[in-house]
């Protein structure tokens, strides 16, 4: 995924049929946000959305939009694989 988004120059072929784990992504998103001392409201403003949307992502109720995940990764220089819980 990082290669496709231009975040890595390493092309890896992995099983694409994995189910996206909304809970795990939510946990990683919250962990990242807390590490950066960003509130849900601040992150919502950065992504031009609402804090309730961020809350839904973090609780695993909704899968994060690819555009939002991409913006977070580019802005804060983190791996999409990390955000999706595929790497540490």
Is 72 contained in some domain? yes
Is 15 contained in some domain? no
Residue among 56, 51, 26 at smallest CA distance from 40: 51
Number of domains in the chain: 1
Residue with more model confidence, 88 or 41? 41
Query: Distance between CA 34 and CA 70 in Å, rounded?
Result: 18
Residue 77: which CATH number?
1.10.260.40
Query: Distance between CA 14 and CA 4 in Å, rounded?
Result: 12
17-61 pLDDT per residue, tens: 345 688 889 999 999 999 999 999 999 999 999 999 999 999 999
Is 10 contained in some domain? no
Query: Distance between CA 86 and CA 44 in Å, rounded?
Result: 24
Tell me which residue has tokens 């939002």. Answer: 68
């Amino acid at each position: 995924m990082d290669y496709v988004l231009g975040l890595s120059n390493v092309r890896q072929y992995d099983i694409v049929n994995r189910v996206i784990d909304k809970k795990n992504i939510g946990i990683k998103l919250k962990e990242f946000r807390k590490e950066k001392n960003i509130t849900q409201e601040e992150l919502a403003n950065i992504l031009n959305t609402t804090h309730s949307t961020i809350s839904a992502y973090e609780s695993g109720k909704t899968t994060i939009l690819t555009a939002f995940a991409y913006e977070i990764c580019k802005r804060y220089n983190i791996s999409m694989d990390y955000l999706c819980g595929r790497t540490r």
